[in-house]
Amino acid sequence: MEYIQRIQKVSVLGAAGKMGSGILLLTAIEMADQMLKPENQGQSFVLNAIDTSDEGLVGLVKYIRLQVIKAAEKKVVSLRKVYSDKKALIENSDIIDAYVQDVMSVVRTTTRIEAAYDSTLIFEAVSENQALKEKLFRMINENNNSQPWFFTNTSSVPIGGLNKNASLGGRILGFHFYNPPAVQKLVELITIDENPIEMVEFANKYASNLRKTVVPSNDIAGFIGNGHFMRDALFGISEAERLSDEMPLYEAIYCIDRVTRDFLSRPMGIFQLIDYVGLDVVQFILRVMQPHMQGEKLHSSLLDELVLKGVKGGQFSDGSQKNGFLKYEKGKPVAVIDNITGSYVDINTFNESADHWLGAIPAEVLPWKSLVKVADKDKILEPAFKALQVSSLKGCELAVAYALNSRETARKLVSDGVAHNEKDVNTVLLTGFFHAYGPINDYL
């Protein structure tokens, strides 16, 4: 089956979720772009957006429409060529409307899993629940006569196990997007020996059409991205717990979040990132990884305690951030959870003393937003890390310890055989987590 045939009948499972909606968006655009090519005129393209909640699907359509308008605005010049035979489309807004209509015409929302019984390609982005994933794969595989390919977005569950338990005969691979899929450039590709070669070739071509960077990971629980993220998160939590000997835990969480964002020029502090992904998702990934990582403790009692209290983070269907370790207003952290009372403590009541305790950020350290735009980052990062290293201020010391732990974690992924090489680990952090520099560097 050619690329074009494979991409004509597609389903996304969990399409209304935060990862599913991004995968649906990118796939809908790719399918519409193929449909609009002269050689494919008249062919049908169907993308089933499957999810359990009608309400979620309504929110999904709103999200997709808005994002397609943005995408169309960015490529209006090339779209004008695509629609050159449609003389009635004169203004840019006409072109944009036509494109939105074409992309939306591909998408069929449904709560019925049966829609996938006719698909040749299935993207799976349901919640990180291995039993649920296997049940859905088995149901579709048993009822679908076209030997569909399954691309799972699992961020942690080994693909070999899913293949075996759902009896898929090698027609599954890990195709792991990063959040938000429309923004992050990375796809982590996890293949298994049983995969047909054409399936792997298709996966690479599809990723390339989406303009994604592909990094291969070996099939080891957590893969590269979460292999780093989970250990980075646990280190952050343990650092905050250690600091709570000298300040309340909520203040310590604020300090570590600030160090990991502002002193290390990252897009988000580590606690904000845990909230963004979801405390319950992080907890699940840790549980999946733990049995595979003998001799290492991948667990946080604080995380368990908060999830038990219903503090889960994640996002609302409009993309806004739910409260987790931090409480958000208009996307900005405004308070931090007090694990004892379960209520949030306003940052304004303690940030002055906490910031004083951390000390000033060295002038050489640029905020992430400015740093990501710099072409020659070495010129900025070498003096920035030097300044952090020579300083005896608490914030700088914490930042250096954090960066060293991140580097050690990254190297371990290579020595444990998860990543093929150090460059791949750096690429994952640069393109999946939008870091401005890789964890394995010579700055320290």
The count of other CB atoms within 10 Å of the CB of residue 4 is 15
Cα(140)–Cα(12) distance, integer angstroms: 12
List residues binding ligand 3HC (CB under 6 A): 67, 155, 178-180, 182-184, 225-226, 229, 267-268, 273, 277, 319, 432-434
Assess contact for 398 and 410: CB atoms under 8 A: no
**Tokens matching residue 428:** 């994952």
Closer residue to ligand 3HC in complex, CB, 89/203: 203
The least CB distance from residue 128 to ligand 3HC, in Å, is 8
Q: Name all contacts of 100-104 with Cβ < 8 Å and 24+ positions apart.
A: 100/65, 100/68, 100/69, 100/72, 102/32, 102/35, 102/36, 103/28, 103/29, 103/32, 103/64, 103/68, 104/28, 104/61, 104/64, 104/65, 104/68
Question: Whole-number minimum distance, CB 346 to ligand 3HC, in Å?
Answer: 23
Minimum separation from the CB atom of position 58 to ligand 3HC (A): 17
Phi, psi for 317 (deg, rounded to 5): -65, -20
**Exposed (0-12), middle (13-18) or buried (19+): which is 390, by Cβ within 10 Å?**
exposed
Cα–Cα distance list, 442 to 53, 287, 343, 383, 398 (Å): 49, 33, 42, 12, 18
Residue 182 or residue 387: which is nearer to ligand 3HC going by CB? 182
Cβ of residue 94: shortest distance to ligand 3HC, in angstroms?
A: 22
Nearest to 34 by CA among 209, 214, 213, 212: 209
Output the smallest distance, CB 114 to ligand 3HC, in A. 28
Residue whose Cβ sits closest to ligand 3HC: 155
CB of 115 to ligand 3HC, least distance (A): 24
Closer to ligand 3HC by CB, 6 or 266: give it.
Answer: 266
CA 151 – CA 189 distance, rounded (Å): 10
Complex with ligand 3HC: residue 267 or 359, whichever CB lies closer: 267
Q: How far is the CB of 155 from ligand 3HC (least distance, A)?
A: 3
Cβ nearer to ligand 3HC, comparing 86 with 299 = 299
CB distance 126 to 154 below 8 Å: no
Min CB(171)–ligand 3HC separation in Å: 22
Question: Rounded to whole angstroms, how far apart are CA atoms 376 and 341?
Answer: 47
Residue number with CB closer to ligand 3HC (324 or 432): 432
- Return the number of the residue (117 or 178) whose C-beta is nearest ligand 3HC: 178
Cα-based distances in Å from 139 to 151, 265, 358: 15, 46, 55
Q: In the complex with ligand 3HC, which residue's Cβ is closer, 115 or 215? A: 215
Residues 6+ apart with CB under 8 A from 345: 248, 250, 335, 336, 337, 338
Cα radius of gyration (the chain): 23
> Cβ of residue 413: shortest distance to ligand 3HC, in angstroms?
15
Of residues 3 and 434, the one with the C-beta less far from ligand 3HC:
434
